[in-house]
Structure 1
Amino acid sequence: MNTLNPERNKVAINRNHPMIDKILKAESEKEKARLAKQSFNLALLSQGLLNGKDLTAFVKRSVELI
């Protein structure tokens, strides 16, 4: 992502979704950030907006979670 012209994505967050509850209840800020990033990347992937290095990193994190 180019820092001079950052991409912007609008997202809607369903506060009733179990994943949001899991993020909010995470024990550490690091875990909250990891879960939030993974969720955001999953949303991008579902819309065909995740590619390049971001897609590679997402796949790597997903495999580590398994």
Structure 2
Amino acid sequence: MLIFWKILCILLLSLGATSIGFAISNIDLFLFFIGFLLLICFILALKQAREDAGFFPDN
């Protein structure tokens, strides 16, 4: 399951950064918010991956 979270984190980070880059170059606010949401999803997926690995136990 940890490999799944790593792949998901890499995809979300690359998609978020790419869409923010395109939004800045094209001055597209909608694309900027999509990239921002993808980066937030990256942070949440990274947190979940660290919990699954045992770095932040729930107890």
**Shared fold (TM-score greater than 0.5)?**
no
Q: Which has the higher helix share?
A: 2
- TM-score range (shorter-chain normalised) is 0.3 to 0.5
Higher relative contact order (CA 8 A, sep 6+): 2
Q: TM-score, structure 1 length as denominator?
A: 0.39
